[in-house]
Structure 1
């Protein structure tokens, strides 16, 4: 099934946990709990639905909607009524009006000797709206649920709140296993959409590996065909998914939206972001940036080198959101009046320049997965280096640790153009920049979309080698 290409490992983990519950039925505490987190629209609910269909055991799937505690309780009653739990009628008869009572009754109606699954989706809403939710969940789990052969799956999109749920100073600490669902990888996308390696990386930059977007990409279609089709349809996932995610995470009045927009349109330094966001105060920007980083929407990075630096730079962490902020959101009005052709022309004009910078984090992550190999050692940290004036910029820095390294393992340059190979001029520039960072003969590396036309490099990587690294780690 296309929908679940790349999710085989996650399905195996869920199935193995259910097997543990099944094998422990009859023991004192057969219950198991997993805390599944991942960014919005990454396919968490779809993964769990597929798991439930394959599992063939009684289950309840409840999704919190962000309403009041009473509204959520009513939604839970509806979910129980439409579940496959054999004793669901007893819950309806009791109709509990308090969350404590609801949890207790839910535990009572679960089968005693056969496994079942309880799924609570969008848990952060309940943490936010239901008083003492975590404490109630912990007590119910310890005293009742864990004593039944049940697999409890807690799902959430707010990554920081889901991490907090199991942190050491919170009631539910050590009650569940953490599981993170990431986007589809470039290798998943290549397989799903029948793309060559270079185009698979382009597709990753546009879709962010979100299954919903990838499903709209016709297998074998070029990037430009996909963009043409999407921009002609004002309801396409490419256009609307980002706005829905932002609306769920940031209220319209929050400065987080303005700061994210400034970063998404290319500003990288604190002062430039403040200016682009309307000249906001530095204290306001600090709070907004902290929120964005906390929610994993923005990454803040320091140069990786042998010397400390305060030249922090910011970037949008999700490739799809970065693409949407740069090319789609500023021109939504023209797309809605069916002039997506204007937007497409603008993307064509700026694509090569935009991609050259946007692909760098993805290449660094790919290289981290590829190493060690027969050319380079494993690098505990792979980053980049820059100075305030940008007179020295190094795309790839492999080191023993970050942000201040004791030892540099390699330095490299990324040239991601269709028709221009990495050449002698690029190598000469890399030599100059190495001299500005270290006197040591640190190995030099090139990553090129279009090959290399010079000698003198320790290692060369192209799209195929980078894509292979993702296949190895699936």
Structure 2
């Protein structure tokens, strides 16, 4: 199912601004399948430009292919002995954009290429009308070899864009306003466009067909992504699986992954840099030894919760244990997905002025067995919003019970001199108008379209 180009308006505007200001170098990167190539081709659509996709066939072959791309663009045969010669030639041909996609392939084929492009940017196209865009899907390599302090191209890019998956509310343009369906789809795709193309209604049947069939694209995708990005993918996979199964502290993760706890932080830092894992501390603590690890990327969280533990069974054409696990536990799994959705929703409301304050920090809080799903803080005004998030339909009586307990837990947080507000975000809340009249902030899926 191929859909239209969706909601990259801001990204296109940024590229246009940089282009109009005469930027010589722009870097665009992000995880695979996130839509970089589609974005760049859309940007090139009304411009004089060359799009070149690097291969894994070696430096000489890519140089030959780049010569062919320039020949096709200009309508005349040219052949270059180096990329420096190619850009000396292009610098004489007026205003144009040159996109080199999957630049990390070229780095792997010829390590000095980054220094070559430093010379191209510093000396060859500096005073020209050429805008060079380097793009890549290997997040680690782009950050280490192109953007880091020690990289030859450090500080030369006029614009750096890390393209991310669509946010929950961006997905409305793709799937419509059935928000219960959207939560299910968000919980398995994380807003990654390539995965969204494969799913339409988020039904159990559709998810099973795309994840629990050995020939399905999404069945092996997570493993392939780790193999492309990391040197020791098996260890990283065990760490992700441990967290996805609810083991959030260092000792628990290390025990599951069968490794020393002292060796674990280095692996977790890499996973954090890739945006797969997130370290969380209570929102009231900027630094804390009580940090826990969670899976940030919902596609990886779903895969390593429901697919990876049953991988051998599924591959051996015995998917029934995996499917049973999925049917039994998917709704519970979506509780965490909905907490992320609720956080995005409240951040949006805060930015638009719909909440009692414009809050600057949002996050969870926990201490000695007590937990609050979401607290929003405005430290300057000393205002705090305490919110419970429930992926279920609540009666008015249930909602009042949750709010009473929320008030009790709020007294344990240590914000006694602050102004307190209390709320609920749930799938559905009975009697919500009456609760609002009493000063509570109560939202459910039915409210989502009104505040978008």
Instruction: State the TM-score, normalizing by the size of structure 2.
Output: 0.87
Moved more, 453-462 or 2-11: 453-462
2:331 matched residue in structure 1: 352
Q: Which residue, 267, 281, 294 being the options, matches 1:302?
A: 281
**Could you list the runs of 5+ residues in structure 2 that have no partner in the other structure?**
none
Contact 1:231 1:340 (C-alpha < 8 Å) held by counterparts: no
1:288 matched residue in structure 2: 267
For the pair 1:85 / 2:85, whether they are aligned, the reply is no
2:168 matched residue in structure 1: 186
**Could you list the runs of 5+ residues in structure 1 that have no partner in the other structure?**
22-29, 97-101
Q: Which residue, 220, 229, 236 being the options, matches 1:240?
A: 220
Cα distance in 1, alignment partners of residues 286 and 84 from structure 2: 57
1:139 matched residue in structure 2: 119
Contact 2:254 2:261 (C-alpha < 8 Å) held by counterparts: yes
Q: Which residue, 428, 432, 447 being the options, matches 2:408?
A: 432
State the 1:222 CA deviation.
4.4
Cα distance in 1, alignment partners of residues 208 and 138 from structure 2: 32
State the 1:386 CA deviation.
0.8
Q: Superposed, which structure 2 residues align to 1:50-449 within 5 Å?
A: 50-52=42-44, 54-55=45-46, 57-65=48-56, 71-83=58-70, 84-86=72-74, 89-91=77-79, 94=80, 96=81, 102-110=82-90, 112-127=92-107, 130-164=110-144, 165-167=146-148, 170-172=151-153, 173-218=155-200, 221-231=201-211, 233-252=213-232, 255-278=235-258, 280-305=259-284, 309-340=288-319, 342-372=321-351, 373-387=353-367, 389=368, 391-400=369-378, 407-418=382-393, 423-438=399-414, 439-440=416-417, 442-449=420-427
Moved more, 434-443 or 81-90: 81-90
Cα distance in 2, alignment partners of residues 466 and 149 from structure 1: 46
Q: 1:427 to 1:58 in 2, by over 3 A?
A: closer
Cα distance in 2, alignment partners of residues 58 and 191 from structure 1: 29
1:40 matched residue in structure 2: 32
Cα distance in 1, alignment partners of residues 188 and 73 from structure 2: 41
Instruction: State the TM-score, normalizing by the size of structure 1.
Output: 0.83
1:26 matched residue in structure 2: none
State the 1:112 CA deviation.
2.6
1:450 matched residue in structure 2: 428
**Offset from partner CA, 1:285-318 (integer Å, 9 cap, x none):** 1211122112222110111126964210101111
Moved more, 175-184 or 120-129: 120-129
Q: Superposed, which structure 2 residues align to 1:449-468 within 5 Å?
A: 449-453=427-431, 455=435, 456-466=438-448
Q: 1:306 to 1:192 in 2, by over 3 A?
A: closer
Q: 1:274 to 1:251 in 2, by over 3 A?
A: same
Q: 1:72 to 1:81 in 2, by over 3 A?
A: same
State the 1:365 CA deviation.
2.8
State the 1:437 CA deviation.
1.2
For the pair 1:14 / 2:15, whether they are aligned, the reply is yes
Cα distance in 2, alignment partners of residues 227 and 285 from structure 1: 32
Task: Count matched residues.
Answer: 440
Cα distance in 2, alignment partners of residues 343 and 254 from structure 1: 20
**Offset from partner CA, 1:222-253 (integer Å, 9 cap, x none):** 43242143246433333232222111112346
State the 1:350 CA deviation.
0.4
Question: SS of the counterpart of 1:371?
Answer: helix
Cα distance in 2, alignment partners of residues 112 and 260 from structure 1: 50
Q: 1:228 to 1:86 in 2, by over 3 A?
A: same
Question: SS of the counterpart of 2:164?
Answer: coil
State the 1:420 CA deviation.
5.8
Cα distance in 1, alignment partners of residues 335 and 395 from structure 2: 13
Cα distance in 2, alignment partners of residues 307 and 142 from structure 1: 40
Cα distance in 2, alignment partners of residues 55 and 307 from structure 1: 46
Cα distance in 2, alignment partners of residues 408 and 88 from structure 1: 66
Cα distance in 2, alignment partners of residues 406 and 283 from structure 1: 41
Contact 2:428 2:446 (C-alpha < 8 Å) held by counterparts: no
Q: 1:104 to 1:82 in 2, by over 3 A?
A: closer
Moved more, 209-218 or 454-463: 454-463
State the 1:74 CA deviation.
1.9
Cα distance in 2, alignment partners of residues 468 and 314 from structure 1: 34
Q: 1:457 to 1:446 in 2, by over 3 A?
A: farther
Q: 1:310 to 1:167 in 2, by over 3 A?
A: same
Cα distance in 1, alignment partners of residues 450 and 135 from structure 2: 31
Cα distance in 2, alignment partners of residues 17 and 129 from structure 1: 30
Cα distance in 2, alignment partners of residues 56 and 364 from structure 1: 39
